[in-house]
């Protein structure tokens, strides 16, 4: 992780500089922190490590929010509740499309609207906002960013994603360490019931 995140953050800094005022992202803007999204076992491991090293009061608040979130999510969780792994049976991916779209991230401080584990935030959090290619090679941006920007501006500001193979290597290693292979949610990664 120590060599992945600096490379990723440099790519983010570059796209942020090129994007200028097209980017709406900033402290307190947290629309992207509402609604669940899958994270890798690498992200889960990074968040757990950061939680262990966080200020005790902050860690306690996150732990309480994560446990409460897990409890709310468990009844309709599209995966295996005991392991926290998503998409473990047919139909789970389809069910996820409308799953928990109003659930706040347990790492989001509800008072300040900022991330309590910002330095360890998952890769999807680090790449949401600026122009990024999705799995179908479409250029995507946050709906609050690049409003009325011409396509040429969006393309000019595209984030370099040459770090993706390195991320895949780190994900593989994290899965080997944890014994969990697949995606999870932040609430499951950080709740007391889900530790390995």
* pTM score, whole prediction: 0.92
- Give the pLDDT of residue 26: 85
pLDDT (0 to 100) of residue 27: 85
| SS3 at position 184 | strand
> What is the per-residue pLDDT for 192?
60
Residue burial 97-107, b: 16+ Cβ < 10 Å; e: rest: eebbeebbbbb
Contacts for 164-172: CB closer than 8 Å, 24+ residues apart: 166/3, 166/4, 166/7, 167/4, 167/8, 167/40, 167/42, 167/123, 170/1, 170/4, 170/42, 171/40, 171/41, 171/42
pLDDT the model gives residue 189: 97
**Residues linked to residue 85 through DSSP beta bridges, in sequence order:** 80
- pLDDT tens string for the chain (196 positions)? 568 999 999 999 999 999 999 999 888 899 999 999 999 999 999 999 999 999 999 999 999 999 999 999 999 999 999 999 999 999 999 999 999 999 999 999 999 999 999 999 999 999 999 999 998 999 999 999 999 999 999 999 999 999 999 999 999 999 999 999 999 999 999 996 544 3
């Amino acid at each position: 992780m120590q060599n992945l995140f600096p490379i990723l953050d440099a790519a983010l800094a570059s796209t942020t500089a090129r994007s200028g005022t097209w980017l709406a992202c900033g402290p307190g803007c947290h629309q992207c922190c509402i609604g669940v999204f899958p994270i890798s076992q690498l992200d889960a491991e990074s968040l757990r490590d950061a939680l262990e090293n966080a200020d005790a009061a902050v860690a306690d608040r996150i732990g309480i929010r994560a446990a409460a979130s897990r409890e709310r999510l468990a009844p309709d969780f599209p995966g295996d509740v005991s392991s926290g792994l998503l998409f473990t049976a047919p139909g789970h991916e389809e069910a996820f499309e409308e799953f928990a779209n109003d659930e706040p991230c347990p790492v989001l401080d509800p008072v300040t609207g900022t991330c309590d584990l910002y330095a360890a935030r998952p890769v999807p959090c680090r790449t949401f906002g600026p122009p990024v290619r999705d799995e179908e090679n479409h250029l995507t941006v946050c709906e609050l960013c690049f409003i009325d920007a011409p396509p040429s501006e969006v393309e000019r500001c595209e984030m370099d994603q040459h770090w993706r193979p390195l991320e895949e290597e780190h994900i593989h290693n994290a899965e080997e360490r944890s014994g969990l292979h697949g995606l999870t949610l932040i609430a499951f990664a950080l709740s007391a019931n889900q530790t390995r």
